Structure 1
Amino acid sequence: MNDQHVDYLDGWRGLAILFLLIGHFFPVPGINFGRVGVDFFFVLSGFLMCRLLFIKEVPIATFYQRRISRIFPAFFSFVNVVLIYFLLTGKLIDWTETGVASLFLNNYFPGKVGHAVMPFGHIWSLSVEEHTYIFLTLVAVVVRKQYLTARLALAIAVAVSIALGLSYWMSFPAQKLEFELWAHSEISAYGILFSGLLLLCLQKVKIPILPALVYPVLIVFGWTCYWWSMPIPLRGFVGVGLFAVVLNILSTAPPLVKRCLSWWPLKKLGLWSFSIYLWQQVFYLAHHREGLPATIALVLAIVCGIASYYMIENPARHWLNQRWANPAPLHGWNKVVSNDVK
């Protein structure tokens, strides 16, 4: 999807899944590193998707094809394997949970919070991503018709997200806010939108080269916003905002910072991160509900994620992308249809 591969962005993705795995299998008291990992994913997603849509101006159809090829094969394979396992073992299947997760709606319909039957609770973050992709493509259509600028559109969206988040915070109890409302796309999309807005605002700004220590310090400051007693908006807007700032100034970071993020194990984790993210939930629940030791659960999550990447995610993505780029002729019928497609 990119004209050139940037190793340190793979490393950022690797940090995201690493933080999430720490939060799920070896939690640090006081800080929800699982949520830190998700927000690391969100700011990276905003950076990459807004670069594609508003700087490179990738065709909307191509954008959706690439998103579908990346997400759908691994995701729906995961859902189907889980369902088959539940059927074979006689476990109770909650079809409502399965349905809303499959439709990327479970961030609005989470079921019984904290008592989910299916291992699909983590799909809330994919739901936020999918909803935001649709919103960003609508913005791109409007921007390409020159009705308004991308920066103005994203600035308005960021302001609305903050306003809604603050209104929810003042109107609802912390429990409902933390486990239900803050998963809604209009709130959690802030990280994606703000990171994309920063990208566009910094396009014509000469980003200074800062001392290497500044980057980890800003991330640690972001972590402090996730401390359990901090107000949720501080975490959701300030903490995420600091992560977005760090990501957006990495292009001028000292070589030491880029080398650390380009460390081979981090890059590999980043490469496998989506499939690992899908599968870790199964073993996260097995650890917390059934007493599977954390180390074994973590190893199984990573192994299944790597297997999913090499057996499903990567080959399916390449096959679909090649097929869409060079559609195979379907005898004479394809000659008629292909003109309409183009």
Structure 2
Amino acid sequence: MSDPKHIACLDGWRGAAIAALLLGHFYPVPGINFGTLGVNLFFVLSGLLMTRILFVQKQPLGIFYRRRVARIFPSVYLFLAVTTLAFLVAGRDLSVLELASAATFTNNYIVPDGPWRMPFGHIWSLSVEEHAYVLLSLLALLTRASRRRSVRAVGAATAAISLVALLYAWTHSGAALSRLWLHSEVSAFGIFASSLVFLLGLGARPSRWDWMAVPALLVIGIAAHWWSAPAPLRMLLGCGAFALAVNRLQHAPQAVIRVFEFAPLRQLGVWSFSLYLWQQPFYQLVRHEGMHPALGLGLSLLVGAAAHYLVEKPARAWLNAHWGKPASARPQAQRMVG
């Protein structure tokens, strides 16, 4: 997957990830936490895409960070502002700690003693991605001169994450372990495992086993998320299987590729980031205040899609077109208006 061109089935993968998360939140399936499964599908896709950008395309870090900020920050901060304002208008108790930790992408470390009062708990997974992007970008900067050094560096990071996860599972249990499992030094495993698979070239060439590899890996990854599976098994086997599957997806049987290229699934993938952000208030209303799941899901889709077109897409396009570029490089019409 070193080709920088757009790969349509990866939009469908992203759509499957957000569909799993929505299913886990609004229509839970006994036995499998589809919310966690969806997050891990996002993580392995991020690992593949960021590695392609940083290690293959060798995008300058200034551009890399600007584009990440343009994609993420406007949507997140508007979400936090609107939600906080809604709490104030409704007379609900605010948690400054929860707001501050979400705004600084540290709420996977700063966790309240009880349930999150404000609908910001889901930003823990976005925090993991942000932390992983920083480390991946630094590793890319230090090792770009040698593919072998890149493999060793990312391999060492993946091994370190695995060892930390096993150590936490050995020394903690219950709620304490659940909190530690939110930490980036554990939950970033899927991102780094997928990055390592990419750098090793394990998804680059067709194989005679492709007719069964991706379907089997997907089944293994889903099965590893069974409720009674130990946390290390869910991470190492489940995320590991998903990391291999997403890297080999373009070589999957055409029937599998057609599923991931299904237009509605790809559309969900296009909306996925805004859906991820805005579903959380409605999830909490369903879970804690009796809103019907169908209404919560419908409002999540409506508000998330609207936020994509009204906030995420235009803010990202404007910042990418203007931020960091000299005035002479900006569109002529914009300069004339200025």
Q: Per the shorter chain, which TM-score range?
A: over 0.9
Question: How much has 1:212 moved relative to structure 2?
Answer: 4.1
Amino acid corresponding to residue 135 of structure 2 in structure 1: F
Helix, strand or coil: the match of 1:183? coil
CA distance in 1, matches of 2:37, 2:240: 12
Structure 1 match to 2:234: 235
Structure 1 match to 2:334: none
Helix, strand or coil: the match of 1:149? helix
Distance 1:258 1:79, change over 3 A: same
Question: How much has 1:314 moved relative to structure 2?
Answer: 0.3
Whether 1:167 and 2:167 are equivalent positions in the alignment is: yes
Question: How much has 1:327 moved relative to structure 2?
Answer: 3.6
Structure 1 match to 2:184: 185
Helix, strand or coil: the match of 1:18? helix
Question: How much has 1:216 moved relative to structure 2?
Answer: 2.7
Decide whether the 8 Å contact of 1:142 with 1:148 is kept in 2: no
Structure 1 match to 2:335: none
Structure 2 match to 1:202: 201
Whether 1:125 and 2:119 are equivalent positions in the alignment is: no
Distance 1:197 1:292, change over 3 A: same
Decide whether the 8 Å contact of 2:202 with 2:248 is kept in 1: no
Question: How much has 1:145 moved relative to structure 2?
Answer: 5.9
Helix, strand or coil: the match of 1:226? coil
Amino acid corresponding to residue 20 of structure 2 in structure 1: F
Question: How much has 1:211 moved relative to structure 2?
Answer: 5.0
Cα-to-partner distance string for 1:147-202 (whole Å, 9 max, x where unaligned)? 97110001000110010000000001133212x00110000111000100000101
Distance 1:102 1:147, change over 3 A: same
Decide whether the 8 Å contact of 1:275 with 1:313 is kept in 2: yes
Helix, strand or coil: the match of 2:135? helix
Distance 1:204 1:246, change over 3 A: closer
Distance 1:182 1:204, change over 3 A: closer
CA distance in 2, matches of 1:147, 1:7: 27
CA distance in 2, matches of 1:88, 1:204: 51
Cα-to-partner distance string for 1:194-242 (whole Å, 9 max, x where unaligned)? 1000001017963315454542332122111111111110001110100
Amino acid corresponding to residue 161 of structure 2 in structure 1: S
Structure 2 match to 1:247: 246
CA distance in 1, matches of 2:251, 2:70: 32
Distance 1:73 1:201, change over 3 A: same
Q: TM-score, normalised by structure 2?
A: 0.93
CA distance in 2, matches of 1:327, 1:154: 35
Question: How much has 1:36 moved relative to structure 2?
Answer: 0.2
CA distance in 1, matches of 2:318, 2:208: 41
Decide whether the 8 Å contact of 2:157 with 2:192 is kept in 1: yes
Structure 1: unaligned runs, 5 residues or longer: 331-342
Cα-to-partner distance string for 1:280-323 (whole Å, 9 max, x where unaligned)? 11000000111000000000011110011000000000000011
Structure 2 match to 1:225: 224
CA distance in 1, matches of 2:119, 2:203: 44
Amino acid corresponding to residue 259 of structure 2 in structure 1: C
Distance 1:43 1:27, change over 3 A: same
Instruction: Give the share of equivalent positions with the same residue, in percent.
Output: 44
Structure 2 match to 1:57: 58
Cα-to-partner distance string for 1:312-341 (whole Å, 9 max, x where unaligned)? 0000000000113644369xxxxxxxxxxx
Farther off after superposition, 55-64 or 219-228: 219-228
Question: How much has 1:90 moved relative to structure 2?
Answer: 1.2
For 1:266-285, list aligned pairs within 5 A: 266-285=265-284
Question: How much has 1:255 moved relative to structure 2?
Answer: 2.4
CA distance in 2, matches of 1:26, 1:175: 24
Helix, strand or coil: the match of 1:112? coil
CA distance in 2, matches of 1:4, 1:324: 24
Structure 2 match to 1:4: 5
Amino acid corresponding to residue 105 of structure 2 in structure 1: F
CA distance in 2, matches of 1:146, 1:199: 15
Helix, strand or coil: the match of 2:118? coil
Question: How much has 1:112 moved relative to structure 2?
Answer: 2.2
Count of residues paired in the alignment: 327
Whether 1:73 and 2:74 are equivalent positions in the alignment is: yes
Amino acid corresponding to residue 28 of structure 1 in structure 2: V
CA distance in 1, matches of 2:203, 2:35: 34
Amino acid corresponding to residue 249 of structure 1 in structure 2: R
Decide whether the 8 Å contact of 2:202 with 2:244 is kept in 1: no
Question: How much has 1:48 moved relative to structure 2?
Answer: 0.2
Cα-to-partner distance string for 1:88-139 (whole Å, 9 max, x where unaligned)? 11111101110011000000011124x2111000000000000011101111
Whether 1:150 and 2:114 are equivalent positions in the alignment is: no
Whether 1:84 and 2:85 are equivalent positions in the alignment is: yes
C-alpha RMSD over aligned residues: 1.8
